[in-house]
Amino acid sequence: MRRLRSTLLPFAIFILCTPLASVSYAASFDCEAKELKPDEKVICENRALNDADVKMVTTFDLLSGLMAMGSRGTLQDGQTAWLKKRQECASDAACIKAAYDERLKQLDETYKKINRPL
């Protein structure tokens, strides 16, 4: 049963991300908006970064639904801080990729620490 739960999050992310992969929007913002920030422009132009954005926001949303109210605030604060860090990358794709890699690792660790009934 525990093994089943540990595979649930990655499976859910895969299922939720698959239909979004062909959409021209990143999951957390509109790539057609007129006033995109430099990091957003790079994400919209780079399929791998766009996919990382979809995975990150999907993972974040799933975790938000699994966490208690107080923990959600902490998770949101971490997301806000992470977004500022990503924006500091400006148009540096390698920096943006590293930011996504780091955030996804943090979210994965958060998932592993959630108290779940046996």
Distances (CA, A) of 46 to 11, 26, 110: 24, 10, 27
What per-residue confidence (pLDDT) applies to 21?
A: 47
Higher pLDDT, 19 or 67: 67
How large is the average pLDDT for residues 75-100? Answer: 97
How large is the average pLDDT for residues 93-103? Answer: 98
Examine the pLDDT at 22 and tell me if it is beyond 70.
no
Distances (CA, A) of 94 to 14, 18, 40, 75, 99: 24, 24, 14, 25, 9
Q: What residue type is assigned to position 79 of the chain?
A: Q
User: Contact 40/31 with Cβ under 8 angstroms?
Assistant: yes
User: Contact 54/13 with Cβ under 8 angstroms?
Assistant: no
What does the pLDDT look like over 35-83, one tens digit per residue?
Answer: 999 999 999 999 999 999 999 999 999 999 998 888 899 999 999 999 9
Record the pTM: 0.77
